[in-house]
Amino acid sequence: MAGISSIGVVGAGQMGAGIAQLAAVHGVDVYLYDADFEALKRAHKSISSNIQRLVSKGQLCQERGEDAIKRLKGSQDLEGLQSVDIVIEAIVESEDVKKKMFVDLDKIVKSSAILASNTSSISITRLASATSRPRQVIGMHFMNPPPIMKLVEIIRGTDTSDDTYNITKCLAERFGKTIVCSQDYAGFIVNRILMPMINEAFYTLYNGVATKEDIDTGMKLGTKHPMGPLELADFIGLDVCLAILKVLFTGLGDMKYAPCPLLVQYVDAGRLGRKRGIGVYEYRLDPRGIKGLPRL
């Protein structure tokens, strides 16, 4: 795609690392930023391992895999992003934290660069208002995990230009993604529909209607979902689900988005899901040190 030869990814967590991997595999130079050096190390190890696995399975040729790893550069200095064509922010789902990051990025990256957020619920218009370039700010919401999931949800803020939208759409398509476009309302498309279902699953458990296993089995076999809503919440992160529900409740003012007390209690207890080894379910480490297998 003309115009985009390098991207910056802010945040080396699961989403940021996945986006960085996706871009590198598709021939884009990637500058992955995180203030935490250990997070950068984990991300580089994970990306290298995933690429090597794709090569071993014949899903990626050796040459392209080696090229992808060479395209990835980690940095603890935001100044390293000053020459990129687009920055994709993938940090904590907090409007205040994201706004602060956008203020910093606006001062650092070149004037023509696009600032995109991987937010799953927060207003793009309000994030854009923290910058001097609201026409170049857009939402680019990847599904988890980014290298596997086919969808990218693009969100236009009030002032997002057609050029910014078209460039972002073309980049997502270059990554092999299908695009849906949402207006800038709380939760956008996917989470506005998904989070009430997850919340209702928590209420179903909270009210003693059924066990967690029966709730998830009912939804998997009864509605052909690949993962039950409680298991999915653990995969997303219960803290992330709670944060999104709070945005929905505040932004739309409807009680159906009020977070279930059980979800709040689990988050308060640090039961955040697979990433912590315990959420609705408990998880064990597999022999390779990868979290996320249900405890038998």
Task: State the CATH number of the domain containing residue 256.
Answer: 1.10.1040.10
202 and 137, same structural domain? no
292 is in an annotated binding site: no
What range defines the domain where residue 201 resides?
Answer: 191-274
Q: Do 73 and 123 fall within a single domain?
A: yes
Say whether both 48 and 66 belong to one domain: yes
Same-domain check for residues 106 and 233: no
> Is pLDDT of 214 > 90?
yes
Q: Which residue has the higher pLDDT, 268 or 2?
A: 268
pLDDT of residue 101: 97
166 is in an annotated binding site: no
What is the arithmetic mean of pLDDT over 79-108?
96
Residue 176 falls inside a structural domain: yes
Ligand-binding annotation for 16, yes or no, is yes
pLDDT exceeds cutoff 90 at 12: yes
Query: How far apart, in whole angstroms, are the C-alpha atoms of residue 192 and residue 19?
Result: 23
Binned at pLDDT 50, 70 and 90, residue 206 comes out as very high
101 and 24: one domain?
yes
What distance in Å separates the CA atoms of residue 275 and residue 283, rounded to the nearest whole number?
9
Q: Are residues 238 and 108 in the same domain?
A: no
Residue 3: CB atoms within 10 Å: 12
As a whole number, mean pLDDT of residues 91-115 equals 96
What the block records as the tokens of 238 is: 């219960």
Q: SS3 of 265, please?
A: helix
Residues 69 and 132 in one domain: yes
pLDDT at 293 over 60: no
Residue-wise pLDDT tens digits, 226-272: 999 999 999 999 999 999 999 999 999 999 999 999 999 999 999 99
- Asked if residue 294 belongs to a domain, the reply is no
**Do residue 57 and residue 112 come from a single domain?**
yes
275 labeled binding residue: yes
Q: How many CB atoms lie within 10 A of CB 180?
A: 14
> Any binding-site annotation on 120?
yes
Whether the pLDDT of residue 1 is over 50: the answer is no
Residue 144 is assigned to a ligand binding site: yes
166 & 61 share domain? yes
Q: Specify the pLDDT at position 284.
A: 81
Q: Is 99 exposed, middle or buried (0-12, 13-18, 19+ CB in 10 A)?
A: middle
Report the share of the chain in percent with pLDDT over 90: 92
Same domain, 91 and 221: no
Q: Same structural domain for residues 174 and 259?
A: no
Task: Specify whether 118 is catalytic.
Answer: no
| Annotated catalytic residue 95 | no
Would residue 225 show up in a list of annotated catalytic residues for this protein? no
Q: At residue 295, does pLDDT exceed 70? A: no
118, 121, 123, 153: the active-site residue: 153
CATH number for the domain spanning 17: value is 3.40.50.720
**Set 50, 117, 120, 199: catalytic member:** 120
Asked whether residue 217 is domain-assigned, the answer is yes
Report how many domains make up the chain: 2
Which pLDDT score is estimated for 286?
53
pLDDT digits (tens, 9 = 90+) for 39-73: 999 999 999 999 999 999 999 899 999 999 999 99
In a domain, 282, yes or no: no
What does the pLDDT average to over 114-130? Answer: 96
User: Which residues lie closer than 8 Å to 212 by C-beta, 6 or more apart?
Assistant: 205, 230, 280, 281
Q: Which of 118, 141, 182, 199 is catalytic?
A: 141
50 in active site: no
Residues 202 and 175 in one domain: no
In a domain, 186, yes or no: no
d(CA 204, CA 215): 8
Which residue's structure tokens are 């236009």?
156
Cα(first)–Cα(last) distance of the chain, in Å?
47
Say which residues have a Cβ less than 8 Å from residue 290's Cβ, sequence separation at least 6: none
Instruction: Give CA–CA dist 97/133, Å, rounded.
Output: 18
pLDDT at 221 over 50: yes
pLDDT band at 285 (very low <50, low <70, confident <90, very high): low
